[in-house]
Amino acid sequence: MNESNTAPDDGNEQNGDGQRDFIRDIIRADLAAGRIETVVTRFPPEPNGYLHIGHAKSICLNFGVAQEFGGRCHLRFDDTNPVKEEREFIDSIQEDVRWLGFDWGQHLYFASDYFEQLYEWAEHLIRTGKAYVDDLSAEEIRAYRGTLTEPGRNSPYRDRPVAENLDLFRRMRAGEFPDGARVLRARIDMAAGNMNLRDPVLYRILHVAHPRTGDAWCIYPTYDFAHGQSDAIEGVTHSLCTLEFEDHRPLYDWLIENLPVPSRPRQYEFARLNLTHTVLSKRRLTQLVRDGHVRGWDDPRMPTLAGLRRRGVPPTAIRDFIRRVGISKSDNTVEIALLEHCIREQLNRTAERRMAVLHPLKVVIENYPEGESETLEAINNPEDPAAGTRAVPFGRELYIERSDFMEDPPRKFFRLAPGREVRLRYAYFITCRKAIKDARGEIVELRCTYDPATRGGNAPDGRKVKGTIHWVSASHALDAEVRLYDHLFNRPDPGAEGDFLADLNPDSLTVLDNCKLEPALAEATCEAAVQFERTGYFIRDPESTSDRPIFNRTVALRDTWAKLQARGGEQKDRSTR
RNA sequence: UGGGGCGUAGCCAAGUGGUAAGGCAGCGGGUUUUGGUCCCGCGAUCCCAGGUUCGAAUCCUGGCGCCCCAGCCA
């Protein structure tokens, strides 16, 4: 067997440092006891939306487990409801799973591939007296179902003869009845405490074209009737799903036991991922896109894999994040800070460094010869010597960050101020001589002098400077737009007190349209994020044009100075109150 | 007495009768040509109450709290 059904090796499985959780414990035990020979899992998305980071948990679990135990994982689309599903999603889902780093090899399946088999099994249930055609309307079925505390009542059609059920069901398939006229129901127990066992609907009439089967069918199986049987057809051994399906397991098992299926899959449930400051329900994400609160499914503020990709988040960071979050059965809400940490950790190791000034302030080096420039050498990645160095042009006129100058600095401010000396990274020590203001009193330019003996950033006399700041040569700078992103929602728990839309962060996107980049950034790609030194990680956005690059901020660098300042501000507030 | 599940530090999460891993966040300190990275240090008696035991987060009993289920969605 030479299948390319793999998951990336993130280096956790070598030395017993592998994942430990109740799912893997079960699989290990099943393998050890000989209950199964090969573990087979599946990732079963419904093609009705884009994949998000919550799905990544399921993807990493299913594919990861298959790889760790030498089994395989199928990608199976749960396409049983044509009124919600679209081709676009079938494509995007495959692209996103691949981008995340997983490969299903030849094992791409669709529940719709099994429609004929499922239909035959439905007839089998009818023939064995375990399913019947019900003429009740949707409202009537609901009324007959009872409530959480009261048992339901049998439908008057529950005891139809087998022959009549068979005839009716075949005519349902033949298209003789309009939508909603009849359904096929399992005959289980209308008094069951578990609502799923109160004669669940197995088939409904839907005169709707299916993205894959076209108009071949006008009756479609429900999730419950399709999922377990699809698992059985594919030989799935461990059908892993989220907690809300726990109640469905008795029905899953009932169907498997009452049908002549080729294998005996088992369902296990784990807790889905929740993240602070965002939403992960398909309904809400769809609403954000549909109502224009974001610019699309791949808006960098979205928790979708497409959004994270455009944001510059590497797939390795997502896999690492999922690994750290773990698998359990307790409801959880993971702080988004953990995700951000994983992104920084990955990017710190791999992203090349560049200099970019987001809020430019002009600096003129008065003692630097006019019209001249020179080239300085800068390290691409101090964490990775193999990344080498690059040339950065320097000249008499530069841009520095506005926040790196203060006319009247507080005690611990290490940057530029009148009379103060700082290091320009990889360049020279400069001393601020004068701040020039415009009519409104705003500082528009700094006049400085440099020490030619400090080329490269070291003083031969051994004198130290407290601060090192980044800069960009004015005459060589690239003009760019930079988009800064913040959490999409203000609250850690959007919607906890009403409409989740009311919790949208109005400042989740800040566009800076006068940024100055060092020339090497012209070569940046949309695939790999770079670090703008002292600022954060950024990635070129596909909306860039050749003459105007656009960069998205993936995540800011940790900023203990900003934290200190914020704390100081708080203290001041408290003392003045 | 409707059914199902969960409850270990601010957030995740190991632990499966032998005396509470780890990560993130936070707080101190050190190194540093990114106030980045890196390094060092600091936190829980396990929802509560009884019980079993030499010994319990782990077993038993009884409470309390939270989540899911009444789609012809998945």
Out of A176, A191, A222, pick the residue that ends a domain.
A222
Out of A191, A222, A253, pick the residue that ends a domain.
A222
How buried is residue A83: exposed, middle or buried, by Cβ count under 10 Å (0-12/13-18/19+)?
exposed
A396 contact to strand B (CB, 7 A limit):
no
The residues of A between 107 and 136 with beta carbon within 7 Å of nucleic strand B are: 136
The residues of A between 35 and 64 with beta carbon within 7 Å of nucleic strand B are: 44, 46
Nearest nucleotide, C1' to the C-alpha of A456? B33
A207 contact to strand B (CB, 7 A limit):
no
A157 contact to strand B (CB, 7 A limit):
no
What pLDDT score does A573 carry?
47
φ and ψ of A273, to 5 deg: -85, 135
Query: Is the distance from CB of A229 to CB of A118 less than 8 angstroms?
Result: yes
Nearest nucleotide, C1' to the C-alpha of A328? B13
CA of A324 to C1' of B23 (A): 7
What pLDDT score does A256 carry?
98
In angstroms, rounded to a whole number, what is the distance separating the alpha carbons of residues A332 and A273? 7
Tell me whether residue A498 is in a domain.
Answer: no
CA of A572 to C1' of B22 (A): 38
Q: What SS3 state is found at A405?
A: strand
Encoded tokens for A282 = 């398909």
The DSSP annotation for A40-61 comes to EEEE---SSS--BHHHHHHHHH
The domain total for chain A is 2
Tell me whether residue A87 is in a domain.
Answer: no
The residues of A between 533 and 572 with beta carbon within 7 Å of nucleic strand B are: 533-534, 557-561, 563-564, 567
Nearest to A403 by CA among A164, A174, A565: A565
In angstroms, rounded to a whole number, what is the distance separating the alpha carbons of residues A286 and A264? 36
What pLDDT score does A575 carry?
39
Query: Is the distance from CB of A551 to CB of A559 less than 8 angstroms?
Result: no
Task: State the Rg of chain A over Cα.
Answer: 31
A344 contact to strand B (CB, 7 A limit):
yes
Pairing of strands A219-221, A389-395: unpaired
Nearest to A476 by CA among A411, A399, A409, A541: A399
Q: Are residue A418 and residue A562 in the same domain, yes or no?
A: yes
Encoded tokens for A223 = 């999730």
Tell me whether residue A540 is in a domain.
Answer: yes
Tell me whether residue A556 is in a domain.
Answer: yes
Q: Mark A281-310 as b/e (b = at least 16 C-beta within 10 Å).
A: ebeebeebbeeeebeebbbbbbbbbbbbbb
Q: Give the rounded distance of the alpha carbon of A171 from its chain centre.
A: 44
- In sequence order, what E strands does A402-518 have? 421-424, 429-437, 443-450, 468-469, 471-473, 478-485, 509-517
What tens digit of pLDDT does each residue of A507-551 get?
999 999 999 999 999 999 999 999 999 999 999 999 999 999 999
φ and ψ of A480, to 5 deg: -150, 160
Nearest nucleotide, C1' to the C-alpha of A353? B34
A315-325 and A53-68 helices, crossing angle to 10°: 80
Whichever domain contains A138, its CATH number is 3.90.800.10
Q: Is the dihedral of CA A235, A238, A242, A246 positive or negative?
A: positive
The residues of A between 244 and 283 with beta carbon within 7 Å of nucleic strand B are: 244-248, 271
- In sequence order, what E strands does A145-230 have? 183-186, 201-205, 219-221
Q: Residue A152's beta-bridge partner residues?
A: none
What pLDDT score does A351 carry?
98
Smallest CA–C1' distance to B10, residue: A335
Out of A186, A205, A222, pick the residue that ends a domain.
A222
Query: Is the distance from CB of A94 to CB of A55 less than 8 angstroms?
Result: no
Q: What SS3 state is found at A214?
A: strand
What tens digit of pLDDT does each residue of A106-122 get?
999 999 999 999 999 99
A147 contact to strand B (CB, 7 A limit):
yes
What pLDDT score does A411 carry?
87
Nearest to A74 by CA among A94, A100, A54: A94
In angstroms, rounded to a whole number, what is the distance separating the alpha carbons of residues A403 and A405? 5
Tell me whether residue A574 is in a domain.
Answer: no
Encoded tokens for A18 = 């592998």
Tell me whether residue A289 is in a domain.
Answer: no
CA of A132 to C1' of B3 (A): 24
CA of A487 to C1' of B37 (A): 24
Q: Which residue type, as a one-letter code, is found at position A505? A: N
Smallest CA–C1' distance to B66, residue: A331
Q: pTM (2 decimals)? A: 0.96
Q: What's the CA angle centered on A507, arms A503 and A509, to 5 degrees?
A: 120
CA of A197 to C1' of B1 (A): 20
Tell me whether residue A4 is in a domain.
Answer: no
Whichever domain contains A539, its CATH number is 2.40.240.10
CA of A65 to C1' of B46 (A): 30
What pLDDT score does A3 carry?
46
Range of the domain at A370: 353-477+518-566
Nearest nucleotide, C1' to the C-alpha of A181? B72
So which residues of A are the catalytic ones?
46, 272, 282
Q: Are residue A543 and residue A394 in the same domain, yes or no?
A: yes
What residues have CB less than 8 Å from A382, skipping those under 6 apart?
Answer: A353
Nearest nucleotide, C1' to the C-alpha of A467? B35
Q: What SS3 state is found at A464?
A: coil
CA of A96 to C1' of B26 (A): 35
Within 7 Å of a protein beta carbon, the nucleotides of strand B are 2-8, 10-16, 22-27, 33-38, 66-74
The DSSP annotation for A363-392 comes to EEETTSPTT-EEEEEEES-TT-GGG-EEEE
How buried is residue A153: exposed, middle or buried, by Cβ count under 10 Å (0-12/13-18/19+)?
middle
The residues of A between 471 and 530 with beta carbon within 7 Å of nucleic strand B are: none
Q: Give the rounded distance of the alpha carbon of A464 from its chain centre.
A: 44
Residue indicated by tokens 């109160």 = A198
Nearest nucleotide, C1' to the C-alpha of A276? B11
Encoded tokens for A232 = 């059985």
In angstroms, rounded to a whole number, what is the distance separating the alpha carbons of residues A499 and A286? 15
Give every residue of chain A whose pLDDT is below 70, as ranges: 1-7, 9-18, 569-577
What pLDDT score does A15 carry?
36
CA of A246 to C1' of B62 (A): 27
In angstroms, rounded to a whole number, what is the distance separating the alpha carbons of residues A134 and A202? 11
CA of A278 to C1' of B21 (A): 30
Tell me whether residue A452 is in a domain.
Answer: yes
Smallest CA–C1' distance to B67, residue: A331
